[in-house]
Amino acid sequence: MLLQRVAVSIVGIPVIIGLTLLGGPLFTVAVGLVLTIAALEFYPATDPASAARDTHRLRDQRLPGLIGAAGVALLVAAADNGFDWWARALTLLVVLPFLPPILRGQTATGLRDWLWVLGGLLYVGFLGSHLVFLRDAPNGRDWVLLALFATFATDTSAYFVGRLIGRTKITPAISPGKTLEGSLGGFAAGVGAVLILNWALDAGAGAEIIPLALLLPLTAQLGDLAESLIKRGAGVKDASRVIPGHGGFLDRLDSLLFTVPLVYYYLTWIIL
> Chain centroid to CA 244: how far?
18
Q: What is the DSSP letter of 271?
A: I
Q: Which one-letter amino acid corresponds to residue 81?
A: N
- pLDDT (0 to 100) of residue 58: 76
Instruction: Quick: pLDDT tens for 172-212.
Output: 999 999 999 999 999 999 999 999 999 999 998 999 999 99
Average pLDDT, the chain: 93
- pLDDT (0 to 100) of residue 247: 78
- pLDDT (0 to 100) of residue 239: 78
Q: Is the pLDDT of residue 33 over 70?
A: yes
Q: Which residues contact 137 (CB under 8 A, 6 or more apart)?
A: 143, 264, 267, 268, 272
pTM of the model: 0.94
Count of other CB atoms within 10 angstroms of residue 111:
12
- pLDDT (0 to 100) of residue 29: 98
Name the band, by pLDDT with cuts 50, 70 and 90, for residue 12: confident
- pLDDT (0 to 100) of residue 82: 96
Rg for the chain, CA atoms, rounded: 19
- pLDDT (0 to 100) of residue 241: 79
Average pLDDT over residues 89-95: 97
Q: How far is the C-alpha of 183 from the C-alpha of 168, rounded, in Å?
A: 10
- pLDDT (0 to 100) of residue 2: 64
- Name the 3-class secondary structure at 59: coil
